[in-house]
Chain A
Amino acid sequence: MKRSIAPVFWLPFGAGGMLAALIGPALVLLTGLAAPTGIGLTNNFMSFARAMAFAQHPLGKLILFGVILLFIWHGAERIYLTLRDMHAGARFLLMWICYGTAGVLSLITMGALASIGF
């Protein structure tokens, strides 16, 4: 009997979902609201120097890589299934659009992180 390839997308969806559930709210609050407004955090919490130091550190790079990629693949799977529910297009087409976009975004992320160096 022919196996489904769904597990390939379901496991990253699950990992991304768990990560987002545990750290998502905190990250959004800190990087999106506290740091930019200076309320709760100092204004240069995400300054260029600090951001570079973080992104150049192996652990920092790994965190950025993990968070961005897992969040992207989690979102891609959910959006794919929802678009399928909504009859937005042929299944084959929707898969290529959703997972293809996620793939391209993943490559961009990896490229940017690599070019930041160590």
Chain B
Amino acid sequence: MSRSRPYIRPVEKLWWARPPYLAYTLREATGVAVLGYALVLLAGVVSLANGERAYNVWLDFLKSPWSLSLHVLFLIGMIAHTWTWFRILPKTMPRLVIGRRVLPQIRVTAAGVAVAAASFIFIVLVAVWTQP
């Protein structure tokens, strides 16, 4: 009988860039939009702490084409984040049982997206109603 000499195949270093894992990597990349937007807010808070002139520099930056393009990317990233977030959320919960049936995970996703949509509308309305 021959002696066993198992062969260990090396892991492909670029697995995260190829299907089916590319979708996962793109999902994780939405975190960059979340962080990026937080950095813009942080810059705003820091400039606010430094007085009116500094703050107006930040406001002028927001009006620039660079910032507007950046925020379009942030918006796409945030929406992608919201969608993929509620797709993965039911995996982090035990199977919910309603009455006698196990709730399909897609219903949790649908409920989450619905709440997010309602929240979006609510915040926009509040902003429009409280504007000067």
Contacts and interface: CB of A to CB of B under 8 A. Distances in A.
A and B touch in the complex (CB under 8 A): yes
Given A50-B132, A81-B28, A32 B49 contact: no
Interface string A1-28: 0000000000000101110111111111
B114 to A, nearest CB: 11
B75 A25 contact: yes
A97 interface: no
B2 interface: no
B23 interface: no
A68 B42 contact: yes
Interface in A53-106: 55, 64, 67-68, 71-72, 74-79, 81-82, 85-87, 105
Interface of A: 14, 16-18, 20-37, 40-42, 44-48, 50-52, 55, 64, 67-68, 71-72, 74-79, 81-82, 85-87, 105, 108-109, 111-113, 115-116
A49 to B, nearest CB: 9
Contact of B46 (A23, A45, A46, A112): A112
Contacts of A44: 132
B37 A28 contact: yes
A44 B130 CA distance: 12
A55 B62 contact: no
B78 interface: yes
